């Protein structure tokens, strides 16, 4: 008989692996810049790089803010992605954390780089085999299929995987004691559907499965907004629905409807840090209606607490319209 583990509880591990949300000793990957909990061992779950030393980084995981200053990783300075339409700045690894474009030094191989010896290759294969064994070991069991597809799926509509992830994000912040009891009814979760990259099949679930779902190493961020601002964010993030869009909001705690028979009332482009976004602000709210928040009537003037990821809240041109609200962003 299979041992069934509560999948929401299992998502706590998913968030620890893929969103690095919980504070504990970490080491910093020299290749991709991810913070890896010491409990996960000496291999980066994001890119497979080996831990640079046996001494853990004693600095607790921190949620980056718009003012965070990147540091050089692996001897290279932070770099801005040159890919058209990306606009991500301060990349710290060999590939853009947003679109995957290689760093400048990756496009021109170093001719002086030495070839790996047979011993090096053997050692690498042993590490890979051990990693595969660890990451392919089931740690949970799911009785249902979790929809991680793009279309139809997380870029076009609400999905059970989007619900699960945002519920787990909210649960993680609430259980950390970062929100007062009086504020609990005002807490909601939002994540961009484009960040959900794979489904989870019914049956055994492995760390590799969940790392494939959320591969970007995002962190959890808390934003305080008014109801009117929350409504604007949902309206702008669904401007083209039913056509797919990466900013489609998967949510927790919000009962809302979207009327796709009505046209989006397009206004001006959002401008973020002097750069034009890929999202247009709505001149008026035409398509989205919020019925309730955690069972209570929606109030446009009330302050709500939004638990989201740092990509959706960061002031970058490709992020969803929550970027406009990032002046309220704070680490939890």
Instruction: Give the residue extent of every domain in the chain.
Output: 80-110, 150-198+207-328
Nearest CA to 235 out of 320, 134, 166, 160 is that of: 320
Helix (H) or strand (E) holding 141: strand 138-142
Nearest Cα to Cα of residue 247 among 292, 193, 322, 173: 193
Quick one: DSSP state of residue 58? -
Tell me how far apart the alpha carbons of residues 313 and 191 are, in angstroms, rounded to a whole number: 10
pLDDT tens-digit profile, the chain (332 residues): 333 334 444 454 454 444 433 334 566 666 666 666 555 556 565 555 666 643 333 333 333 333 333 333 334 567 788 888 777 776 766 777 667 778 777 666 555 555 677 888 888 889 889 888 888 999 899 999 999 999 999 999 999 999 999 999 999 888 888 788 888 999 999 999 999 999 999 999 998 999 899 988 778 888 889 999 999 999 999 999 999 998 899 999 999 999 999 999 999 988 776 777 778 889 999 999 999 999 999 999 999 999 998 776 655 444 444 544 433 333 33
Q: Which run of H or of E encompasses 169? A: helix 160-175
Q: Was domain 150-198+207-328 assigned CATH 3.40.50.150?
A: no
Q: How far is CA 284 from the centre of its chain?
A: 29
Q: Which is nearest to 43 in space by CA: 155, 167, 133, 119?
A: 133
Classify burial at 315, counting beta carbons within 10 Å of its beta carbon; exposed 0-12, middle 13-18, buried 19 or more.
buried
Instruction: State the pTM of this model.
Output: 0.65
């Amino acid at each position: 008989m299979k041992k069934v583990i509560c999948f929401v509880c299992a998502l706590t591990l998913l968030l620890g692996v893929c969103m690095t949300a919980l504070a504990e000793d970490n080491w910093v990957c020299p290749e991709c810049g991810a913070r890896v909990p010491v409990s996960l061992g000496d291999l980066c779950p994001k890119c497979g790089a080996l831990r640079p030393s046996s001494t853990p980084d004693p600095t607790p995981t921190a949620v980056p803010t718009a003012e965070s200053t990147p540091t050089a990783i692996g001897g290279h300075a932070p770099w801005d992605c040159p890919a058209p339409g990306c606009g991500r700045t301060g990349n710290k690894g060999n590939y853009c954390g947003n679109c995957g474009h290689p760093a400048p030094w990756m496009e021109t191989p170093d001719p002086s780089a030495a070839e790996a010896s047979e011993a090096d290759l053997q050692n690498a294969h042993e590490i890979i085999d051990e990693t595969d064994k660890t990451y392919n070991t089931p740690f949970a069991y799911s009785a249902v299929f979790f929809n991680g597809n793009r279309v139809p799926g997380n870029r076009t509509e609400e999905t059970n995987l989007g619900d699960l992830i945002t519920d787990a994000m909210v649960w993680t912040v609430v259980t950390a004691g970062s929100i007062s009891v009086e504020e609990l009814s005002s807490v909601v979760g939002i994540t961009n559907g484009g960040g959900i990259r794979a489904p989870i099949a019914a049956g055994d679930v492995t760390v590799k499965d969940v790392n494939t779902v959320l591969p970007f190493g995002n962190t959890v961020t808390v934003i305080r907004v008014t109801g009117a601002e929350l409504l604007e964010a949902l309206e702008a993030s669904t401007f083209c629905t039913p056509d797919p869009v990466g900013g489609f909001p998967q949510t927790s705690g919000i009962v809302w409807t979207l009327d796709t028979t009505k046209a989006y009332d397009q206004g001006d482009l959002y401008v973020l840090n002097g750069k034009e976004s890929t999202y247009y602000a709505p001149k008026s709210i035409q398509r989205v209606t919020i019925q309730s928040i955690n069972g209570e009537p929606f109030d446009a003037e009330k302050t709500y607490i939004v638990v989201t990821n740092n990509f959706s809240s960061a002031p970058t041109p490709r992020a969803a319209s929550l970027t406009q609200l990032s002046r309220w962003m704070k680490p939890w």
